[in-house]
Amino acid sequence: MWVVFIATAVAQNKIPISSNDYSNNSIEMADAFRSNGKIYVVVGVIVALWAGMMVYLISTDKKISKLEKLLNN
């Protein structure tokens, strides 16, 4: 199985880098999202995920601190 994976990874064609690649400053996907107004949805989802993770971590930390206090007494 690994031999097939390695063989396909090695068999990839390399694309040469040109000077136009270094001077390209536009990101087409971001421009499309921005023009359609969907970039705010993407940013909102990312912020919601981070906020949810922070709330979960803080609540878990409080529970662990409470258990540590209970264990030490």
What is the arithmetic mean of pLDDT over 28-38? 77
- A 10 A CB-CB count for 19 gives 7
Q: Can you give the pLDDT at residue 56? A: 98
Q: Rounded CA gap, 64 and 67, in Å?
A: 5
Q: Rounded CA gap, 67 and 35, in Å?
A: 51
Q: Model's pTM, two decimal places?
A: 0.55
What is the arithmetic mean of pLDDT over 16-40? 76
Q: Can you give the pLDDT at residue 8? A: 60
Percentage of residues in the chain having pLDDT higher than 90: 40
Contact between 30 and 39 under an 8 Å Cβ cutoff? The reply is: yes
pLDDT digits (tens, 9 = 90+) for 36-60: 888 889 899 999 999 999 999 999 9
CA 63 from chain centre, in angstroms, equals: 28
